[in-house]
Chains A and B, each alone.
Chain A
Amino acid sequence: MMITVYAIGIIGMALMPGLDADGNPHSMSLFHAFYFFTYTATTTGFGEIPYNFTDEQRLWTIICLYMGVIAWLYAIGSIIKLVQNPYLVHAIAEWRFTRSVQRIWSPFYIVCGFGDTGSLLTRGISDHGMMAVIIDSDEERIKALALRDYRVTMPGLCADASVPVHLVNAGIKHPKCLGVIALMADEDLNQKIAVMARFLNPEIKVICRTTSPRHQKHFIAIPGVTIINTFELFASQLRRAVIAPKLHTLSEWFIGARGFSLDKPMQKMRHGHWILCGYGRMGSCIQREFATVNIDTVVVDPIVEHLGEVRQSITAYADAQSLAEADLENAAGLVVGTGSDADNLGILLHAHQFRSNALLIVRQNQHENELAFNAASVDLIMQASLVTARNILRYLIAPSMQHVIDHLESVDPKITVGLLDKLKLSFADVKPHLLSVTIGDDTPAVIAASENGLTIRIADIIRDPNKHDRELVCVPLAITRNSKTTVLPSASEAILKDDVLLFCATMRDVRRVQTTLRSPQRLSYLITGYEEPSGYFFKWLHRMFPHLMQTEKV
């Protein structure tokens, strides 16, 4: 249509009789006509060229103007409509997303589902200097993603993550992709994502959140998929918080949880029974966990089904009356763990009316209700999404950390206290960072040193390069060799190839240790206390006259 309008306008303009400056007849050339029509149709209007127009020409100009401008407006309208077409917008967004994923050069994870847990996990991944690619089917969440202040921009795609092509676009086959984390609200989707991911790239880690035993059973059959059961995780954390509060503080502190400082006074474990408000999937998990450590529980819930091993239960809403019936005054603690935040806060109000020394532990379901929960004076707020996100993060950055916690729980609590005191002394208020190192290609210095016949011990790695007799703030937590983990290894433990070491260090010393592991010169200095000659000439001199070079330890 544009072309027709242009053709008519240009030919007409060229045919209209005109006069030149001297009054001789003159017709516009086709090029001039095209030039004139272009600026007329786009409403630019540079004036009459090459000479002043005759009336015939002006008449035709009027026709051109209306015709051309209308055609242009129509064309612009169509273009805008096309640009606003949701399918086109989506196609462009997906294309952009795919390109930005292809350009990633650092290791990254794919996070499917950007709800509470997903966003908390992404925040954690960002804090640890890693990248994540996010897929969520909710457009609003992806839009919100762009506004977050992550250290690096995290590409986000609004799509169904269980469709394989979207996983491929998100970089599941990218050489730097480390794993897929399925955190969708829908269990079946998570399962689908996990299965797809296994097929698309068997090399990567697959982590999948689930809440139902049916799915969990199914997943155990799939090799290479790590399952995180939110409720069981929550319940075991809760049990640890109750029976080993120091260990709980320690494990929260390792992951850098806010508000967990090492010298926070501990609540003493009281004798007595625990009251559980809410006996759904979560409540029953908590009850089972408590039963394993022989804690008596009283369940308060309006609907108590599948009681199983529950000995005492009160079938009622948890109000003042039923809490009195459950003997809150003499209870060791109260776990408010229903699936509704409003109910939980309401139960807390009832509980505050009692004059009781019971520990109050409350479950927070929605991240957005944080302020209200912080205002309620309770001993511990546990947020399922936060617990899940932290555990996944810990698994990602330090897989052997779970062994450390489990080990500390199984041995004498004095060891935990000892570790706590040691950490308190060396870290003070500094935030800890977990450093997991695999001895191999990433640590050329260790390989080089062992090729030179040196024995590398943990003590050598964590030695201060500036002061040979001092240690960095870097505590070795575990060493994994042949898939066997030794917790709190001694500093004299020798390091071999393919060992996985786990340290807890300050950010500054994490960098120092990483430098040591990469620089052969520095490591051999730390091991022997002597500086190796670096140039050819001095190497030769050292071979010829060994006594000349280094006479004393630095």
Chain B
Amino acid sequence: MNLERVVFGFFIVLALALNVVFVIGDIENPEYHSVWVLTAAIFVSLIATGLKLGDRTQVGAILLGTSLVSDMLLIIARVIWIVQVEDGGAPNAGDMVAIVSWAGGALVANLISATVLASDALMSRH
């Protein structure tokens, strides 16, 4: 039992879960996609990146890379939301598709992170 593994595993899986929560549903319909979930996903993903800073192992480097990708894509999605959508209003269908697509890209990066993490844990008990 290692605290670092517990904490890091928690944040990686949480980032993946929140990402799925945001992306899932009709891609054009804003009712399925909550801006709160997107924002939470960005924060969790940023924390996961921060935890991997300074890790010089091979696996650590890959995880740092993938979580940076997911940060970047999620932030782009959030920026589109901020720029295209008026305060309090819902995005139109075209903007919604763009936002969810970017978040979908982040989902792929998060999936890779989670896979690497799981396989590393399975490969060596150390």
Contacts and interface: CB of A to CB of B under 8 A. Distances in A.
Contacts of A552: 1
Contacts of A535: 4, 8, 50-55, 60
B119 interface: no
A467 B125 contact: yes
A88 B106 CA distance: 61
Nearest to A521: B57
A534 B60 contact: yes
A466 interface: yes
B4 A533 contact: yes
Contacts of A533: 4
Contact of A536 (B7, B8, B54): B54
A513 to B, nearest CB: 14
Given A521-B57, A536-B53, A531 B4 contact: yes
A466 B126 contact: yes
A438 interface: no
Contacts of B54: 534-537, 539
Interface residues of A, number: 24
A273 B7 CA distance: 76
A536 B56 CA distance: 10
Interface in B39-64: 50-57, 60
Interface string A446-473: 0000000000000000000111100000
Nearest to A525: B126
Contact of B3 (A466, A536, A538, A554): A538
Interface size bracket, B side: 10 to 19
Interface in A527-554: 531, 533-539, 541, 548-552, 554
A465 B54 CA distance: 23
Nearest to B49: A535
Contacts, number: 57
A534 B2 CA distance: 12
B4 A466 contact: no
Interface in A239-284: none
A549 B7 CA distance: 11
Interface string B1-17: 11111011000000000
A538 B60 CA distance: 13
Interface string B115-126: 000000000111
B64 to A, nearest CB: 9
A466 B125 contact: yes
A548 B57 CA distance: 22
Contacts of A519: 57
A122 B55 CA distance: 42
Interface in A505-537: 519-522, 525, 531, 533-537
A554 B2 contact: yes
Contacts of A525: 126
A551 to B, nearest CB: 7
Interface of A: 465-468, 519-522, 525, 531, 533-539, 541, 548-552, 554
Given A537-B50, A537-B51, A549-B3, 15 more contacts: A465-B124, A465-B126, A466-B125, A519-B57, A520-B56, A521-B56, A522-B126, A534-B57, A535-B4, A535-B8, A535-B50, A535-B60, A537-B53, A554-B1, A554-B125
19 contacts: A467-B125, A519-B57, A521-B57, A531-B2, A531-B4, A531-B126, A533-B4, A534-B57, A535-B51, A535-B52, A536-B53, A537-B50, A537-B51, A538-B3, A539-B54, A548-B3, A550-B3, A554-B1, A554-B126
Interface of B: 1-5, 7-8, 50-57, 60, 124-126
